[in-house]
């Protein structure tokens, strides 16, 4: 049985912990378990209930009315609202419910509806990555188990790989050569895969080196393929003790290249202000920089 704290419920549902406490006391919407030291904890059923409540509440149903519903009625009304509602928050709630239930059909249905409604790029930018940020803190603290992380992340990854495979070869006359990779010790490549999709869709040539790429490999690719741009980023640790050291190494080794960095490296790049290294905060940043930036 998974155990969640009140703060976990807040992060996964988007409902403030103080609000949940008030609803518990006034409406008995969920009843927390207690540890031997009288600390609250919640199970998957409680999480499922609070997310279903979140869906209804976000869609304008008063909490006093929600509290009158049985557990089955709550789930049924939440499912009906989710099916007819393309609000990004509702889609994220639905993904969390599908994740904790290991319901692959539900995940695929949510993604399909979203892609049809807002397109592939916006589904990843506005639904999937906000979902991953919301759930990511739970994975790191162990509140959501690693199996759930692998289950849903691999579904997202398959969607990206399929979309990449479906793209036509680069055809634009002024196409650029772009290398995308993650530094050593960095394994979270979902964002990098998405950026690879965006760059290829723009019509540029791409080499995707993927996770944990040794620095020497960058030199080898640079010498043989002569790229115009390197794209990288970090979400966790680096081989170097300081991110500043890594950016200095990139600047020294590839001073004649444009280097775009995301994640924690973007913060460092913004402060250090290299002439050839630029921070990327979003998909629109990436596309704009790929098209416009050039060496001084």
Q: What are phi and psi of 10, to 5 degrees?
A: -60, -45
Mean pLDDT computed over 88-111:
91
Question: Which pLDDT value is given to residue 1?
Answer: 53
Distances (CA, A) of 166 to 5, 122, 183, 223: 43, 18, 27, 29
Return the H-helix or E-strand segment holding 160. helix 146-166
Residue with structure tokens 């849903």? 152
Per the confidence metrics, is the pTM higher than 0.85? no
Classify domain 168-292 at the CATH topology level. Answer: Rossmann fold (3.40.50)
The pLDDT tens digits of the residues spanning 198-215 come to: 999 999 999 999 999 999
Residue 21: pLDDT band with limits 50, 70, 90: very high
33 forms beta bridges with 41
282 exposed, middle or buried (CB, 10 Å; 0-12, 13-18, 19+)?
exposed
d(CA 76, CA 31) in angstroms, rounded, equals: 21
Judged against a pLDDT cut of 70, whether residue 295 lies above it is answered with no
Question: Which pLDDT value is given to residue 252?
Answer: 94
261 forms beta bridges with 232, 279
Cα-based angle 58, 59, 64 (whole degrees, multiple of 5): 80
Under a CB-based contact definition with an 8 Å cutoff, are residues 190 and 150 in contact?
no
DSSP letter for each residue of 102-147:
T-HHHHHHHHHHHHHHH-HHHIIIIIIHHHHHHHHHHHHHTSS-HH
Residue with structure tokens 């609250």? 40
Q: What are phi and psi of 187, to 5 degrees?
A: -115, -10
Residue 35: pLDDT band with limits 50, 70, 90: confident
Question: Which pLDDT value is given to residue 4?
Answer: 86
Mean pLDDT computed over 212-232:
96
SS3 85: coil
Task: Determine which of 43-47, 75-79, 94-98, 141-145 has the lowest per-residue pLDDT on average.
Answer: 141-145
Judged against a pLDDT cut of 70, whether residue 240 lies above it is answered with no
Q: What is the mean pLDDT of the chain?
A: 89
**Domain boundaries along the sequence of the chain:** 6-164, 168-292
* More confident call, 286 vs 77: 286
The pLDDT tens digits of the residues spanning 182-201 come to: 999 888 899 999 999 999 99
d(CA 293, CA 296) in angstroms, rounded, equals: 9
Task: Determine which of 86-90, 150-154, 289-293 has the lowest per-residue pLDDT on average.
Answer: 86-90
Residue 167: pLDDT band with limits 50, 70, 90: very high
């Amino acid at each position: 049985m998974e155990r969640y704290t009140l703060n976990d419920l807040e992060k996964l549902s988007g409902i403030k912990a103080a609000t949940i406490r008030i609803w518990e006391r006034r409406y008995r919407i969920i009843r927390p378990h207690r540890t031997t030291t009288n600390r609250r904890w919640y199970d998957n059923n409680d999480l499922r209930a609070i997310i279903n409540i979140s869906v209804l509440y976000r869609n304008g149903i008063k909490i006093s009315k929600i509290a009158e519903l049985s557990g089955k009625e709550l789930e049924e009304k939440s499912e009906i609202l989710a099916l007819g509602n393309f609000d990004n928050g509702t889609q994220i709630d639905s993904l969390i419910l599908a994740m904790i239930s290991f319901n692959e059909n539900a995940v695929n249905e949510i993604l399909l509806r979203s892609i049809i409604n807002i397109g592939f790029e916006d589904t990843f930018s506005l639904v999937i990555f906000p979902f991953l940020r919301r759930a990511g803190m739970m994975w790191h603290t162990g509140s959501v188990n690693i199996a759930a992380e692998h289950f849903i992340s691999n579904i997202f990854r398959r969607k990206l790989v399929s979309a990449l495979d479906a793209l036509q070869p680069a055809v634009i006359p002024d196409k650029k050569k772009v290398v995308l990779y993650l530094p050593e010790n960095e394994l979270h490549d979902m964002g990098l895969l998405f950026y690879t999709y965006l760059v290829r869709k723009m019509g540029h040539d791409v080499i995707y080196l993927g996770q944990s790429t040794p620095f020497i490999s960058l030199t080898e690719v640079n010498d043989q393929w002569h790229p115009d741009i390197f794209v990288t980023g970090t979400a966790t640790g680096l081989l170097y003790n300081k991110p500043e050291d890594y950016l200095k190494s990139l600047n020294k080794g590839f001073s004649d290249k444009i280097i775009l960095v995301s994640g924690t490296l973007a913060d460092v790049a913004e402060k250090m202000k290299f002439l050839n290294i630029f921070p990327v905060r979003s998909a629109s940043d990436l596309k704009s920089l790929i098209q416009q930036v050039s060496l001084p």
